[in-house]
Structure 1
């Protein structure tokens, strides 16, 4: 249904400032897997203009020239990773470039399918070839897909080692401004010295226990374990009214300063629902929730404005049992999440940096964090709310939808703002049978007559 029409390697248009031969990666960067995550933006023709949408050739030219200018400042995207000692990596600033693809669909977008469908997402977010040496793997691949109805999707596939959501949001804003030939926003220029994060180390032994770096709970009982690699994604829409009802339930009879946040409550609600659909008779099954906490302003002093890199650290709840989460009110799960997030103080993050610096093999740390074989009893929630992704206008208007690409990881979820600003979108990846059950359960604790349709 989608055919690649053109392919380019985009390099920085200038060499000033002159990149160093290599760029050190922080301990926080080293914690990430050297694979890629993805985003898909959907743009549709405006109902307020009679101008036809730009053809593929013009749109690709706009992206190509503006991306080349953006890479002059965000040159790490044009580099490549390189393995060094102890399972660690460095960034080669060799300007090998970003890959840009132009594609067309032979059917209108409305007939193409649901962005949440894995098969659809895999066609719109470019794939990465991991069979080649890591020094040949691009850190950013972009695919623009043009539909005969005038709709456009922009799929990004980007290396997790390089950026977190904050850094990506700034880059996308900077690139879009260049595409629209707007004045250069100097506030969006990146701060590229990643050693400033590692300078927060105290060069001491860790002062805290760090359960976030310990292996997560595994599924107990071999009869219930599956090794399927087939997953499906469910996407739910929550209006602010529905989110408010959840918050009211969570905050009732809980003396919490300021009340639980929308993220804490929605994550807690999702955790309860996922435990229920996974439940197979063992109420003592251990489970925990992991999220990422942006520590830029939790450090003292905070990281420089514009810091480009990863500054999000994993935060994990206490390990609970399925029965604890399922039978307790949503405020119980939200409280566990709040405790995990609030633990991420300046001292705790400094201790985490010292812990990572002391590791003899980062591959072992990553294996403990990410490689859980078989069925997963846990939940991993990433917050994309409050990032400027919906402001990313390349001249086609603002996106009308944004979703992660194919998530492909059992128990991973994203929570982001709805494009209208009147609610939230929750996307979660599970085994197909669990997705079907979750679609029936998700709204029951909010309003029984609601549907899960976007």
Structure 2
């Protein structure tokens, strides 16, 4: 049980620009709902730092400082029609809560997204007027063991993962008294290609249209209603290397080898297709976010604060995925490599030509407004590889875990490096209840069999744990 003890609005502690910022089409296509993430800090870290008398006070004061350079997060969204928004930088502030939990950190288990982890994030009522909702909400939760969590909810239409984490890292610097930014945020979104409603797209942007549905079904309504569940799977460094080895089988030293991420993503895609028992002729899509910052010409300024991530969605017949892990990797790579400056600008032109973006937003669901359905037979994989997810030291040490507090839909998953940087990963994933057990078995089966066949290493219980 988690109970809210107090809350307050935190505003920038200095005057900030009172402006309305244009949002790029790359922003507009994102859900305006809040992305929920949480950080876990063990009790020894808090107890050992006697200079931190009140974590809540520390968070509140430092937030008022960092909201000065990150003033858009203290603003509100205004709907301007056609499913589009403008960012009103009116300084109304962020909201911060302090809560008490009757549980201990260990009760959260492996930190998989559950109804309990959702309680660590502030609740947002989306039936309210959007112009009244804070874009940033934070919840400090104290556990009875002495540990704490920090739950962060940032409106996805305002920032992508890179921008959000740069903000968190800068906020942590201020909380520790260093008063320095990781990078100076750049707020002029006009530098992102604006798009031209008169310019026709040069490509067929299937990633911005409807996704494949099951053979024999005209829509995804039946799949949308099915019960789903979440799990958290672990990949050791040895297992990751084995996947990479399997993906690159047959490639010589002069070939460009597939990366860890490509091998993991291809493995998840194949295992999901197998566990769903899809026909060989079934089309399936893999939705993968792609950072456009260095793909655009000219590149975006360092510190660009806004969404600079779009998605590539390779579509393949299941039978082709099953030819081999390397074949699935090749499909992923070919799709990512076509995502160059011209393709990105064509994507923006496509969106600029849409009169209403409401139904183009993927993953946002209410009774009255359903976005693109991404579930069975499709998969979405977001990689946090390379992001500064464990830099959130607010003065009581680095978190022992950081991850999503919820997974929005069937087929949604993340690839997250573990905190001790030993080369291992955790994979939170959401699938239909009827598919999850098979998926967990298949996820480890090929890796373990490869170990046994090639006698590379002895597989112990941790390496081949099918259910934890």
SS in 1 for 2:446: coil
Of the structure 1 ranges 199-208 and 404-413, higher mean CA displacement relative to structure 2 is found in 199-208
Distance 1:179 1:398 in 2: 13
SS in 2 for 1:408: coil
Of the structure 1 ranges 111-120 and 93-102, higher mean CA displacement relative to structure 2 is found in 111-120
Q: Counterpart of 1:251?
A: 248
Contact (CA 8 Å) 2:223, 2:375: kept in 1 or not?
Answer: yes
Q: Counterpart of 1:15?
A: 15
Q: Counterpart of 1:384?
A: 384
Superposition map of 1:203-214 within 5 A: 204-214=199-209
Q: Counterpart of 1:272?
A: 270
2:465 maps to 1:451:
yes
Contact (CA 8 Å) 2:194, 2:348: kept in 1 or not?
Answer: no
What's the CA shift string for 1:311-366, capped at 9, x where partnerless? 0111010x2222332x3211111111111111111111121122222222212433
Equivalent residue pairs, number: 446
Q: Counterpart of 2:334?
A: 339
Q: CA deviation at 1:377?
A: 0.7
TM-score norm. by structure 1 comes to 0.92
SS in 2 for 1:84: strand
Counterparts in 2 of 1:117 and 1:306: CA distance versus 1, 3 Å: closer
TM-score norm. by structure 2 comes to 0.89
Contact (CA 8 Å) 1:246, 1:446: kept in 2 or not?
Answer: yes
Q: Counterpart of 1:302?
A: 299
Distance 2:106 2:82 in 1: 49
Which of 285, 291, 309 lines up with 1:312 in the alignment? 309
Contact (CA 8 Å) 1:245, 1:446: kept in 2 or not?
Answer: yes
Could you tell me which runs of 5 or more consecutive residues in structure 1 were left unpaired when the two chains were aligned.
none
Contact (CA 8 Å) 2:360, 2:371: kept in 1 or not?
Answer: no
Counterparts in 2 of 1:193 and 1:227: CA distance versus 1, 3 Å: closer
2:32 maps to 1:37:
no
SS in 2 for 1:198: coil
Q: CA deviation at 1:54?
A: 8.2
Which of 142, 167, 174 lines up with 1:171 in the alignment? 167
Contact (CA 8 Å) 2:223, 2:376: kept in 1 or not?
Answer: no
Superposition map of 1:153-302 within 5 A: 153-185=149-181, 188-199=183-194, 204-221=199-216, 225-228=222-225, 230-254=227-251, 257-279=255-277, 282-302=279-299
Could you tell me which runs of 5 or more consecutive residues in structure 2 were left unpaired when the two chains were aligned.
365-369, 450-458
Contact (CA 8 Å) 1:80, 1:135: kept in 2 or not?
Answer: yes
2:135 maps to 1:136:
no
Distance 1:371 1:414 in 2: 20
What's the CA shift string for 1:117-136, capped at 9, x where partnerless? 41221111222111101111
Distance 2:140 2:288 in 1: 30
Contact (CA 8 Å) 1:179, 1:395: kept in 2 or not?
Answer: yes
SS in 2 for 1:406: coil
What's the CA shift string for 1:21-71, capped at 9, x where partnerless? x11101100111211211111111347x9737788x711000001111111
Which of 351, 354, 359 lines up with 2:349 in the alignment? 354
Contact (CA 8 Å) 1:393, 1:399: kept in 2 or not?
Answer: yes
Q: Counterpart of 1:428?
A: 429
Counterparts in 2 of 1:85 and 1:70: CA distance versus 1, 3 Å: same
